[in-house]
Chains A and B, each alone.
Chain A
């Protein structure tokens, strides 16, 4: 997490929560009104229940206890109606609507900075009336929503004085445990975050540092004393430390008015900074964000896509009419092209969202799965600020949830087993996101038992996925877990192992153009890494011609472009050729063969060295290169279905469609052919 945005991030998540509350409340109202016409509708009651439930869930994460309490009560009542114990009538709908209004009031009060809210007792009484004598029954829903944050640390509400004086001073003493550093955190992050709140004076207490000879590198000797002058509440300070968990012990005391400098000993002040950013930060909060319906942005992306296509049309028309590029028209059109690209990039980033929105949901999944499987799991999140296109993010949540469950259920061992193996009884689950060569990589790493190739092989034979005796290398065996119907756990557990596991994960990832790779080592753990495109709407590619038809190859898949000398190609089998490349040889694919167009291959002069995710290379031979550009991606499945070798297409300046080569698919197909020819020989 970037440190400067420490406090702003928390605010941003809060804002999202309130926006979601508003959505849920709108839906709640709609459904309640509709319920008047159809009081028997179980589906409506379910939706209403879910609305209240999700408000409760969010409120719990932010420690808004009064909101949790009320929505919990409301939810318990709704549960009675949902289960059919009570039936809906005009009176109950009236009560529900009243509760909905109370809920809106609480939400809007919290949104405006309150931390407590007293619900009118008559509303509570009316609700409790429905619950009968056992009003204090436990959670209606199966899962428990605690006031616990995803990192497992407490988000218990902190009472603050709402009419707090405009400036306050706090004395903060920081005692840092070695784990804090082991996690890769840095005390400076804390200081910078504090600095975001106001003016700070920092002093380091180095008295505990021993002589050099006695220093143990794993130990933490320093303590910090900080005097913070801020307009912000005590709560905002606590927020900063809440993120650090138990590794950082902070003693925060409020310094009374007329602060005495004596709270800080008269030792030299190590650091003193007034932060010009403070005012800016406050303003930034006010300017806030505009929430726009995602469909409007999608429409904008589409329209800009059209604009790009039209731009291409203008340029191709200009070329045809031989308008010189350095003419006035030429310059204006070039400038316009740049503007459009910039516009496109900006709009696409509007759709991008930090992956943390998905990661944070997983915190809860981890806790629940750990509880169900009786395992101890520590979740570590890295790179949560990595931004991903919203359309991808939306489809990432389900597969990741499944994989996290799997990692805990099948990967991480029980505390006893781990202890026997000499491991920390607490398992580690690391979720990591980062960018690599234009793609987003998401890793799910556990330090569990690792995949057992022998067991997977046996299971695959048993499930008739492979034939006994079939020779597979390790990677191929791992990839068997993505086969439909594969599940290594003998008994079906609550958590995973319904047999609709990893194949569904793989399929849903493929929908968003994602690839998944496994690396695992027995006894040490497994890493699943998912590679995703940044956006699905635009790709950088090279447009080429083969037998008169235009095609696009994504630039990410082209490692090199060379002149193809047909005389150097040599025969390696029926219709198969090899070609020298650097100090080795590559298999050759002629574009015309791939397309099924008969060709004498005389025009084929260009060789793309194409490369897949596994860095396997092939020589792909085409007639000529036309241009390198950005292409608006059109999904073929929108109106048709998957096409072999081409997953998507684009529209060119002249209005024609050009297919975008799916290099991964191409490699997959060719490898399949290789396997089948091997089988024929056997």
Chain B
């Protein structure tokens, strides 16, 4: 059952979800150490108990930057032995979202969104976007 649980978080006003199995840790946002020639969406690197981990501004990378200036949390995700931190506006809750229930994005969504998202699911009066972890890592490592 744990595999089906999703972590719901927000970027600005929009809510997103990620399978909880990919989440390694959640921390309060802190400033990263910047480095030269980094892509604009990479804030720098942070130290998490002795590991140096890149910090990526998720909203900026996915191109949903409106209202996303406030960054309160970092979600550390693990994928293929690499750990990357993603700064998000807030972590909302953990809920049971069924991957099957996600509907495809509308045709005219931006290429970035289509690349990073699996689909949309309505939950009560909310609309939740499912984030593709593989795409997130691929995008971050470019």
Asked whether, in the complex, the Cβ of B36 is within 8 Å of the Cβ of A596, the reply is yes
A636 CA to B53 CA, complexed, in Å:
8
* Alpha-carbon distance between A432 and B47 when the two chains are bound, in angstroms: 40
Is B45 at the interface (CB under 8 A from chain A)? yes
B86: min CB distance to chain A, Å: 13
* B50 touches A (CB below 8 Å): yes
Nearest Cβ distance between residue B43 and chain A, in whole angstroms?
12
Q: Is the CB–CB distance between A639 and B35 below 8 Å?
A: no
When distances are taken between beta carbons in the complex, the residues of chain B under 8 Å from A655 are 47
Check A634 against B52 for contact (C-beta < 8 Å). Answer: yes
Q: A640 to B19, alpha carbons, bound, how many Å?
A: 21
Are B52 and A657 touching (Cβ within 8 A)? Answer: yes
Q: Is the CB of B50 within 8 A of A639?
A: no
Name the residue of chain B whose CB is nearest to the CB of A596.
B36
Q: Which residues of B contact A634 (CB under 8 A)?
A: 50-52
Residues 80-101 of B at the A interface (beta carbon under 8 Å): 82-84
Please tell me if B37 contacts chain A, counting CB pairs below 8 Å: yes
When the two chains form their complex, are residues B82 and A305 in contact, meaning their CB atoms are under 8 A apart? no
Chain B contacts of A643 at CB under 8 A?
35-38
B20 to chain A, nearest CB (A): 20
Q: A28 to chain B: which residues have CB within 8 Å? A: none
B52 touching A638, Cβ below 8 Å: yes
Please report the number of residue pairs spanning A and B whose Cβ atoms sit closer than 8 angstroms: 64
Majority-rule SS of A interface residues: mixed
The interface bits of chain B over 17-50 (1 if a CB of A lies within 8 angstroms of the residue's CB, else 0) are 0000000000000001111111000001111011
**Interface residue B54 (Cβ < 8 Å from any Cβ of A):** yes
The CA of A549 and the CA of B34, in the complex, are separated in Å by 9
B127: Cβ under 8 A from any A Cβ: no
Q: Is B141 an interface residue (CB 8 A)?
A: yes
CB neighbours (8 Å) of B38 from chain A are: 643
Contacts of A549 in B (CB 8 A): 33-34
Q: A639-B83, A651-B47 are in contact. Are A644 and B52 (CB under 8 A)?
A: no
Q: Are B36 and A649 in contact (CB under 8 A)?
A: no
Contact B47 A657 (CB under 8 A): yes
In chain B, positions 52-100 with a C-beta closer than 8 Å to chain A are 52-54, 82-84
CB-based contact A639/B54 at 8 Å? yes
Interfacial chain A residues near B141, Cβ < 8 Å: 640-641
Contacts of A639 in B (CB 8 A): 51-54, 82-84
Bound CA span A659–B52, Å: 10
Contact between chains at A638 and B51 (CB < 8 Å): yes
Q: Which of A152-211 contact B (CB under 8 A)?
A: none
Please state if A595 and B36 are interface contacts (CB–CB under 8 Å): yes
Say yes or no for A302: interface residue by CB 8 A criterion.
yes
Contact of A355 with B by CB under 8 A: no
Residues of B with C-beta under 8 A to A638 = 51-52, 82
8 Å CB contact of A302 from B36, B37, B50, B83: B50
CA distance A638 to B81 in the complex (A): 8
Residue of B nearest to A645 (CB): B36
Q: A646 at interface (Cβ–Cβ under 8 A)? A: yes
Size class of the B contact interface (CB-based, 8 Å): 20 to 34
Contact of B45 among A305, A640, A644 (CB under 8 A): A640
Taking a contact as CB atoms closer than 8 A, the residue among B32, B36, B50 that contacts A651 in the complex is B50
Q: Does A594 contact B (CB under 8 A)?
A: yes
Write out the residue numbers on chain B whose beta carbons fall within 8 Å of the beta carbon of A306: 49-50
The reply to whether A309 and B50 contact each other, CB–CB distance below 8 Å, is yes
Query: B33 contacts which chain A residues (CB < 8 A)?
Result: 549, 649, 656-659
Cα(A634)–Cα(B52), bound, Å:
7
A657, A658, A659: which has the most chain B beta carbons within 10 Å? A657
Query: Cβ of A641: which chain B residues have Cβ within 8 Å of it?
Result: 141
Q: Which of B36, B46, B82, B83 contacts A657 (CB 8 A)?
A: B46
CB contacts under 8 Å to B, within A199-250, are none
Q: Which residue of B lies closest to A640 (CB)?
A: B54
Complex Cα distance, B83 from A635, in Å, reads 13
- Expressed in whole angstroms, the Cα–Cα distance for A375 and B36 within the complex equals 51
Q: Are A649 and B45 in contact (CB under 8 A)?
A: yes
Considering the complex, give the chain B residue whose CB is closest to the CB of A643. Answer: B35
Name the one of B36, B46, B53, B84 contacting A594, with C-beta atoms under 8 angstroms: B36
Give Cα distance in the complex from A271 to B102, angstroms.
Answer: 90
Are B36 and A644 closer than 8 Å at their CB atoms? yes
- Of residues A549, A640, A643, which shows the largest number of chain B Cβ atoms within 10 Å of its Cβ? A640
What is the CA–CA distance of A658 and B45 in the complex, to the nearest angstrom? 9
- How distant is A389 from chain B, measured CB to nearest CB, in Å? 19
A643 to B32, CA, bound (A): 15
Interface string of A639-681 (1 = CB under 8 A from B): 1110111100101000111110000000000000000000000
- Chain B nearest CB from A322 CB (Å) reads 26
Name the CB-closest residue of B to A658: B33
Q: Is the CB of B47 within 8 A of A305?
A: no
B99 CB → nearest A CB, Å: 26
How far, in Å, is A668 (CB) from chain B's closest CB?
Answer: 15
Closest Cβ of chain B: how far from A594's Cβ, in Å? 7
CB-defined contacts of A305 to chain B, threshold 8 Å: 50
Q: Which of chain A's residues have a CB closer than 8 A to the CB of B54?
A: 639-640
CB distance from A309 to the nearest CB of B (A): 7
A635 to B82, CA, bound (A): 12
Taking the closest CB of chain A, its distance from the CB of B117, in whole angstroms, is 23
Cα of A649 to Cα of B45 in the assembled complex, Å: 9
Cross-chain contact B47 with A646 (CB below 8 angstroms): no
- The answer to whether B47 and A659 touch across the interface, beta carbons within 8 angstroms, is no
Contact A646-B35, Cβ < 8 Å, known A638-B82, A639-B83: yes
Instruction: Please indicate the chain A residues that have their CB under 8 angstroms from the CB of B46 in the complex.
Output: 657
Q: Are B50 and A657 in contact (CB under 8 A)?
A: no
- Chain B residues whose C-beta falls within 8 Å of the C-beta of A302 in the assembled complex: 50
Question: Which residue from A596, A635, A649 sits with its C-beta under 8 Å from B37?
Answer: A596
B71 to chain A, nearest CB (A): 18
Which chain B positions have C-beta within 8 A of A645? Answer: 36-37
Q: Which residues of A contact B53 (CB under 8 A)?
A: 639-640
Closest chain B residue to A659, Cβ basis: B35
CB distance from A491 to the nearest CB of B (A): 39
- CB contacts (< 8 Å) of A640 on chain B: these are 45, 52-54, 82, 84, 141
Contacts of A594 in B (CB 8 A): 36
Offer 28 A-B interface pairs, CB within 8 angstroms, sorted by A. Answer: A309-B50, A595-B35, A595-B36, A596-B36, A634-B51, A634-B52, A636-B45, A636-B52, A638-B82, A639-B51, A639-B53, A639-B54, A640-B52, A640-B53, A640-B54, A640-B141, A641-B141, A643-B36, A643-B38, A644-B36, A645-B36, A646-B35, A649-B33, A651-B47, A657-B32, A657-B33, A657-B46, A659-B33
Chain B contact residues, CB within 8 Å of chain A: 32-38, 44-47, 49-54, 82-84, 141
Known: A639-B82, A649-B45; 4 extra A-B contacts, CB below 8 A, are A640-B141, A649-B33, A651-B52, A657-B46
Measured CB to CB, the residues of A under 8 A from B are 302, 305-306, 309, 549, 594-596, 634-636, 638-641, 643-646, 649, 651, 655-659
Please list the 8 inter-chain residue pairs (A to B) with the smallest Cβ-Cβ separation, ordered nearest first. Answer: A640-B54, A657-B33, A634-B52, A596-B36, A595-B36, A651-B47, A644-B37, A649-B52
